[in-house]
Structures are given as C-alpha cells and as structure tokens.
Chains A and B, each alone.
Chain A
Amino acid sequence: MSELAHTWSNVVVILIFLFSFAALLSWIERRLLGVWQDRYGPNRVGPFGMLQSVADAIKLLAKEDWIPPFADKALFVLAPAVIATTTLLAFAVVPIAPGIGVVDLNIGLLFFLAMSSLGVYSIVLGGWASNNKYSLLGGFRAAAQMLSYEVFMGLSLMGVVMLAGSFNLRDIVAAQEDLWFCIPQILGLITFTVAGIAEARRLPFDLPEAENELVAGFHTEYSSMKFGLFFIGEYVGIILISAVMVTLFFGGWLGPLLPPLMWFLLKTFIVIGFFILLRASLPRPRYDQLMGYGWKVMLPLTLVNLLITGAIVLAWGL
C-alpha cells in the first residue's frame, strides 16, 4: 500500500469510528448512569438498546433547524462547526497504535493543547451569537473556566514532556515502555484529569451548560443538527481527553498479550467509564468554588509537580 493510501484509509476509518463511537457513547453513558443509579437505562431499541443513538440521531435530523431572528446569524452557524472541527483535528495527533494514527507531529502535544483550547471559541461564540441571557451567561462561564483551567492543563503535562524528552506523542508512549507515567507523574495525572473534565465541559465542571441554572447554557437556542454538532463535539471531546490521558499517563497502546489496538481501546474505554462515574457521583461546584479551586489548589499543585520532576530529572540526569 502506498503512503498516501495508507494515510487516507487511516483518516477515513478513524473518522468513521470516532463519529459512530461518539454517537454510541451517548447510549453507553445513559446505560452506565442507569447501572449506577439502580435502573436499566435505554434498553428498548435494538439489542440492549444500542440503536437508541440511531433513533436519537434520526430525531435530531428531523427537527426544525431554527435560527432565532434575534441571533447573530453568521456566528450562530459558525459556532457549532468550530467545536466539531477542533476536537476532530486534535484527534489527528493521537497515536492509536503503531501504524494507526493520522499524523506524526513532533509538536503533537502542543497541537492537542492548541486545538482543545480553540474549542472554547465555539462555546463563547455560540453563547454570544444566541443573543439570549442564559446562553451569554454560559458563554461567559466557559471563557472564565477555560482561562483558569487551560493554564494548569498545559503545565500539568510538562512533567510528562520532561520525562519523555519530547512533544511527540509516539515518543511519549515509547518512553513509557518500562514504567507508565501515571506513577512518577501522579500529581500531573490528577491535575490533568481535573483540567480534562473542565476542558470537555463534563459534570461536575459543566458550568457553561448547567441545565438546572441556565436552561441549557450556551446551546439553549440551538436545535436540530446544530445542536447535534455540539453534542458530537462534547462526546468526541470526552473520547479525545480519555485517549490523550491514556497516551500520556497509561502507556498508550503498550500492554502484554493483547494486540496494541485492543489495549488502547480498552484503556480509553476505562477512562471514559471513569468520566461517566464522575458524572454519576459528584455534584456541580458553585462557580466561585470552581475558579478558586483551579487557581488556588490545582495551579500550585502543578507547579510543585513541575519543580519535583525538574529536580529529579536534574539529579539523576534522566
């Protein structure tokens, strides 16, 4: 197979897999939430209710695609496209297994950080363009949340970069051959988990959406497939954060017996399950608590982690 054909088949297969898994994830999430709340969750449509996501998709497509007359039309249409695009683009650098993955960037980690940060534009623009008080509040919250969480999200990963000596995600996985970074970088893992949840706007940090306070937050005015794009963006975001966490801290595709692809999928799925468990168990913090937590606890923690890692690298000359 030629180089080009290999790349293209990778792109297409990963894209299709991502979209279908993101759709399926809505079903998985509802089933898991059900399991943890002593109920069954959707189990009627198809085997085990798996076709529920298909039914949801059909329903979304059949809805009226409405742009409110008071909205800023151009931005309103642009916003949902941004989040879907950026999360999908960020997935390009994720090394799924040897030979599977879209690009092999030497600044892969930076590209991931940049793309996932761009996602917040979608939320802010969507909230702004909707010209609705609730949406605007959601957009403001998203902006402030990202400001406080992007800072230590990047910093929390620098320890990994120090140990691996590279920004290339494949090199980082290769550097975990002996020891997964979740052990030497436990502080980095904790802070990145918190930042990742905030980044993916998942409960308990879903303040931009906050159904019980802000109707539906930034996407209050969105309907039909525009809402669907926000939806896909959120679920691809969860997969993205989980996949990156697996790559950086849990040895990516490394593991005994099973083929590398299986290991990667298994680990990613466990992390996704953990995210859903977080949603099932933790309440949403108040807004100032969230900001205070970010700046006063998490940022110092990452700096301490950076200091310790730096000292160790310097002392042992790793």
Chain B
Amino acid sequence: MWNALKSMWIIFLHMFHRRVTVQYPDEKPYIPPRWRGRIILSRDPDGEERCVACYLCAAACPVDCIALQATEDEHGRRYPDFFRINFSRCIFCGYCEEACPTDAIQLTSDFEMGEYDRKNLVYEKEDLLIDGPGKYPDYNFYRVAGLAINGEGGKNKGEAENEAPPVDLHHLLP
C-alpha cells in the first residue's frame, strides 16, 4: 500500500518534468550528416549522368527494389535507359551506395517521403536524378577510368587522369 502511494506520488511529480517529445512537424529533429534517406542519382562535374548501369546496386539490394536497364550512347558511354527505385520496398540500408563504383547512387538526409498513393512511391529516373555531384564534388568517373570514348570530347586508352599509357604487348623490353 505504501509502495503504491509512493509510486503514485513519483508519477505525479513527473508533471513538472521536461517533456521528451520532439514536436516533429513544428520542430525538426537533428539529422546526422551520414543519415541514410531518400536515394538520388548524381551527375559528374561535367553535368553528365554518373551512372554506368553496371547493375551492382540492383545486385546488392537486399529487397530487390532497384530496377534498371543499361544502354549505350553514341560515344560508347553506358547509361541506364530507365532507373526505377520502389521506395515502398526500400529499407534504406545503403548497400547500393556502397556497391556503386562511380558514386552515382547516393543516400541523402531527406526522409519526408509520405504519400497517399502507394504507386507514387515508385521513383523513375527523372525523379531520382539531381543536377549536382552530391557528396563527391570533384569526382568524374570517365576522366579516371581507362575506357576509350569515341567522338568529340572523347579520349583514348592511356589518356585518363593518373593513367599510364597502354603497354605494348609486342615490345620485349621492360
């Protein structure tokens, strides 16, 4: 009986304690910089799509929420014909970002993605693609990759940044 009264008194005193609730829509919570939120596709500093449609993100995705189809432009650069993320399945694990060899797919700190219609949660490429380079402002995959690109603004083997010229296999001297 005494215990019951004492606990009631303690609970009553909680009336004067500080509230722990964060009044969310009025009061925004602190979002850590490495928060894994809405997924975006970034562009390189030249304004081209970074994604090379290698399917590694789709392979890494544990819930299979990423779907894409690779295609090539006239310069021989690969890019996704369509790129679709079903955010009603996405668990925001960040594995796609880890798997991406070109830092194209990135998770941002936005988490306010509520929709009334479930279908609106399927994001197409134009919904995902942003104008900037995202977290890596200077990184340009085609400038460092040893892939030849045809046409104007293209490059040959050995012309990429930090890339040694190709080895002549028919030359005997080291």
Chain A interfacial positions (CB closer than 8 Å to B): 35-40, 277-278, 280-282
Give A282 to B4 CA distance when docked, in angstroms. Answer: 7
13 new A-B contacts, CB < 8 A, other than A40-B23, A277-B12, are: A35-B14, A35-B15, A36-B12, A36-B14, A38-B18, A38-B19, A39-B20, A39-B21, A277-B8, A281-B4, A281-B7, A281-B8, A281-B12
Digit string of B1-37 for contact with A (CB within 8 Å is 1, else 0)? 0001001101110110111110100000000000000
- Cα–Cα, bound, A278→B100 (Å): 56
Interface residue from A39, A277, A280 paired with B19 (Cβ < 8 Å)? A39
B12 and A38 contact, CB distance less than 8 A = no
Greatest chain B CB density within 10 A among A40, A277, A281 is at A281
CB distance from A97 to the nearest CB of B (A): 29
Bound CA–CA A280/B19 (angstroms): 16
B85 CB → nearest A CB, Å: 31
Interface residues on B, range: 10 to 19
Specify which chain A residues have a CB less than 8 angstroms from the CB of B12 in the assembled complex.
36, 277, 281
Of residues 18 through 75 on chain B, the ones whose CB sits less than 8 Å from some CB of chain A are 18-21, 23
CB of B23 within 8 A of CB of A277, answer no
- Interface residue from B7, B8, B20, B23 paired with A38 (Cβ < 8 Å): B20
Closest 10 CB pairs of A and B: A281-B11, A281-B8, A39-B21, A281-B7, A38-B20, A36-B11, A36-B14, A40-B21, A38-B17, A280-B11
Measured CB to CB, the nearest residue on chain B to A297 is B1
| Complex Cα gap A38–B14 (Å) | 6
Q: Name the B residues within 8 Å of A281 (CB-CB).
A: 4, 7-8, 10-12
Kindly list chain B residues whose C-beta atoms are within 8 Å of the C-beta of A278.
8
Chain B residue contacts of A277, Cβ below 8 A: 8, 11-12
| Assembly CA distance A282 to B2 (angstroms) | 12
Give the A-B contact count at a CB cut-off of 8 A. 33
Nearest neighbor of A281 in chain B, beta-carbon distance:
B11
Q: Which residues of A contact B18 (CB under 8 A)?
A: 38
Residue of B nearest to A37 (CB): B14
22 A-B residue pairs with CB within 8 Å: A35-B15, A36-B11, A36-B14, A38-B14, A38-B17, A38-B18, A38-B19, A38-B21, A39-B19, A40-B21, A277-B8, A277-B11, A277-B12, A278-B8, A281-B7, A281-B8, A281-B10, A281-B11, A281-B12, A282-B4, A282-B7, A282-B8
User: How far apart are A297's CB and chain B's nearest CB, in angstroms?
Assistant: 9
Closest to B20 in A: A38
B3 to chain A, nearest CB (A): 10
CA distance A40 to B21 in the complex (A): 7
Question: Can you name the residue of chain B whose Cβ is closest to the Cβ of A43?
Answer: B23
Taking the closest CB of chain B, its distance from the CB of A38, in whole angstroms, is 5
Bound-state Cα–Cα, A176 to B4, Å? 29
**Min C-beta distance of B100 to chain A, whole Å:** 40
Least CB distance from A141 to B in Å reads 21
Closest to B21 in A: A39
Residues of B within 8 A of A282 (CB): 4, 7-8
- In the assembled complex, the CB of A195 is this many whole angstroms from the nearest CB of chain B, namely 15
Residue of B nearest to A282 (CB): B4
Which residues of chain A come closer than 8 Å to B11, judged between CB atoms?
36, 277, 280-281
Q: How far is the CA of A86 from the CA of B10 in the complex (A)?
A: 36
A48 CB to nearest chain B CB (Å): 13
A305 CB → nearest B CB, Å: 16
Q: Considering only CB atoms, which chain A residue lies closest to B16 in the complex?
A: A35
Residues of B within 8 A of A36 (CB): 11-12, 14-15
- A38 to B17 CA separation, bound complex (whole angstroms): 6
Distance of A38 Cα from B10 Cα, bound (Å): 12
User: In whole angstroms, how far apart are the Cα atoms of A301 and B122 in the complex?
Assistant: 67
Bound together, the chains give a CA A37 to CA B4 distance in angstroms of 17
Across-interface contacts of B20 in A (CB, < 8 A): 38-39
Interface 0/1 of B132-172, CB less than 8 Å to A: 00000000000000000000000000000000000000000
A35 to B19, CA, bound (A): 8
Alpha-carbon distance between A36 and B9 when the two chains are bound, in angstroms: 11
When distances are taken between beta carbons in the complex, the residues of chain A under 8 Å from B4 are 281-282
The CB with the most chain A CB atoms within 10 A, among B8, B18, B23, is that of: B8
B157 shortest CB reach to chain A, Å: 63
- Inter-chain CA distance A278–B149, complex, in Å, is 76
Q: For B8, what are the chain A residues with a Cβ–Cβ distance below 8 Å? A: 277-278, 281-282
Q: Which chain B residues lie closer than 8 Å to A35 at the CB level?
A: 14-15
